Chains A and B, each alone.
Chain A
Amino acid sequence: MIIATPAASPLLDRVLDHAIMRMLVSLLIAGTLFAAILLLLGTNPLDAYAAIFRGSLGDSYGWSEILVKVVPFILCAIAAALPAQLGMINVGAEGQLQIGALTATMAALAFSGLAAPVLLPIVIVAGFLGGALWGGVAGALRSGPGLNEAISTLLLNYVALRIVDSFTHGLLKDPASFNWPFSPPFVDAARLPTFGDSRAHAGLLLALAAIGIVWLLLNRTRWGYEMRVVGGNPEAARRSGLRVGRYLLIGMLLGGGFAGLAGMIEVSAVNGRLQPGIGVGFGYVGFLASWLAGSRPFAIIPMATLLAIIAVGGEVLQISAKIPSSSVNVLMALILFAVLATRTLRLSGRLHRA
């Protein structure tokens, strides 16, 4: 939609024209608002920001934690970004991650006798397929009966969490876990290797490879081009003979698959077993990352990293300042608020696309 607004300040607009400047302005706004909330809660915001900074970027442990957190954020962002090319809104990475973690666990336990070079690929594929299945449910509901995927994926998230709960309390419960809802631990051959003795792990390479693959798919293949045609104008795509419904389904299958891969990585590399609460919230953070990145694959990396810094810093804040971990959600939401509020901000009288 073309919108004209009255003339005011072209200089500020030129500043806002740069994506990075716009992001910095948004961060500044969000940071100020968050500081105000901390003040109201009786916490010194300067101390809090210092704690966030020291805990995340201040030492090597913080750095390795950021590298651990950024992996699921990147993959869940892809889960939102791929369907977004088709004009779809996948808010279901949350549930797709859960199902991916579940199927990866099943594979890891079922084939635990195999050697790592065989077992790991099986577990990876199982995680991807699990996520794809869960994304595919929403995709099929959209391309068939036309059920809005934003609503269906949100509801399916809650279903997925309960499916995982029913397995960790039931079929997959480790008899040796003293009645805790844990699956048996993974054998070493089913665990993704870590870098040296840090917690950072090979999942990072998988996530970066996924970004590269998605970029190639979108920009260097006919299929990616057609995806964008469908996303741009589904009616025109339909008239030119593209089977739109099939693209919608495949988009959700692939997107869900990457979220499932995130789930596989969480159980295989980070936790070593399936238990309730693994990766909860990562899907929504991934959605935010994809949104901030404008669904562009390479822009996802810095955005996911930024959110990972906040998430790690927030954990430190929780320990040092006794502020509940939900403060992280507040800060992330404020950043998105600021980005949404400034995205269409124009002070001069030029025409622009909103």
Chain B
Amino acid sequence: MLDVLLASILTGAVRSGVSVLYATLGEIISERAGVVNLGVEGCMLMGACAGFVVEAITGNALLAIAAAAVAGGSLALIHAFLSITRGANQLASGLATMFFGLGLTGLLGAPYVKANITGLNTVSIPLLGDLPFVGPILFRHDLLTYLAMLLAPALWLMLTRTRWGLAIRAVGERPTVAFAAGLSPARVQYSAVIVGGMLAGLGGAQLSLAYTHTWVEGMTAGRGFIAVALVIFSMWDPLKALVGAGLFGGAVAFQFQLQSLGVPISPFILDMFPYVLTLLVLLVWGQTGKRAMPEGLKSVLAGGSQNPIAAGPVALRSATSAAE
């Protein structure tokens, strides 16, 4: 009995955690380059809506997934333009981006609210899916879930072992030094923010295409903000993001289990649990997490939030010469 319960909670944790994992991974890339994007919530909604609408029209799941990534990336592009090129306050720009995504998806998705889709169904991996206990937990999921599991280590390799990863980290830590080393910080930040938005879009698509098979306005319900919190918990490390997203997913699955067991607690109170747990996790591990914070983010999260790169090469040049 207990192992059945545990297995179903763990399976549920994977299923509910995947969308947040995508968003967390995307936000990690963006923040490693020095840009906080509170618009991830909006990027997720864009992905959820675009994926659902394209699936409803074409019935082609791969096209739907591609559309979700493009939609998330496009919204992130707005945030990139405002915070990198125009030097806007990152938090305000991110919130405006979130608001825009919420409104636009509400507008464009309205005719599709009651549409039926096939979406992404469970594909059991041969052999692995038949393993006792772990099989159902890890290897009987949808395509986007498998992709997410592979993505976390892949992004870790990308950040630590590739030129692009190095450039992202250099720009996030010391933009002036990166500039002096011949990198274009703005270009690197743009690429990181857009890729981050595309990943959040995929997370949204997992939510609408695989997890719920529905589209409802505002259906991400704060998962993007939870991802921003989990980035701190993950210490900006894609591998630790697996743990963070797993915790969130576990909390969701746990409260669903309690509800289905008929525990006499208001379902609304149970529904708070993932949010409260995220806050508690931040409270307990947030301080250790902050020590890993990319240098370029410190001014943003301390309330200043001006992107040093925003001013463009001229300011950077004067900053580098001042540093000499």
Identify the A interface with B (CB < 8 A).
Answer: 1, 3-6, 37, 41, 87-89, 91, 141, 145-148, 150-152, 154-159, 162-163, 165-166, 169-170, 284, 287-288, 291, 323-334, 336-337, 340-341, 343-345, 354
Contacts and interface: CB of A to CB of B under 8 A. Distances in A.
A165 to B, nearest CB: 4
B271 interface: yes
A1 B303 contact: no
A150 B91 contact: yes
A183 to B, nearest CB: 15
17 contacts: A4-B318, A5-B312, A87-B304, A141-B279, A146-B287, A148-B301, A163-B269, A166-B266, A166-B268, A166-B269, A324-B217, A326-B102, A326-B217, A327-B107, A329-B103, A333-B96, A354-B311
Contacts of A145: 283, 286-287
A155 B91 contact: no
Contacts of A328: 103
5 pairs of A and B residues whose beta carbons are closest in the complex: A326-B106, A329-B103, A333-B100, A330-B103, A166-B268
B82 A340 contact: yes
A84 B174 CA distance: 28
A329 B303 contact: no
B219 to A, nearest CB: 13
B276 interface: yes
A322 to B, nearest CB: 10
A88 B86 CA distance: 22
A337 B311 CA distance: 18
Contact of B99 (A148, A157, A332): A332
Interface stretch (B116-124, B133-141, B182-190, B225-233): B225-233
B310 interface: yes
A146 B285 CA distance: 12
Nearest to A146: B287
B92 interface: yes
Contacts of A89: 91, 303
Contact of B92 (A154, A340, A344): A340
B306 A354 contact: yes
A82 B172 CA distance: 31
Contact of A154 (B86, B89, B106, B222): B222
A340 B95 contact: no
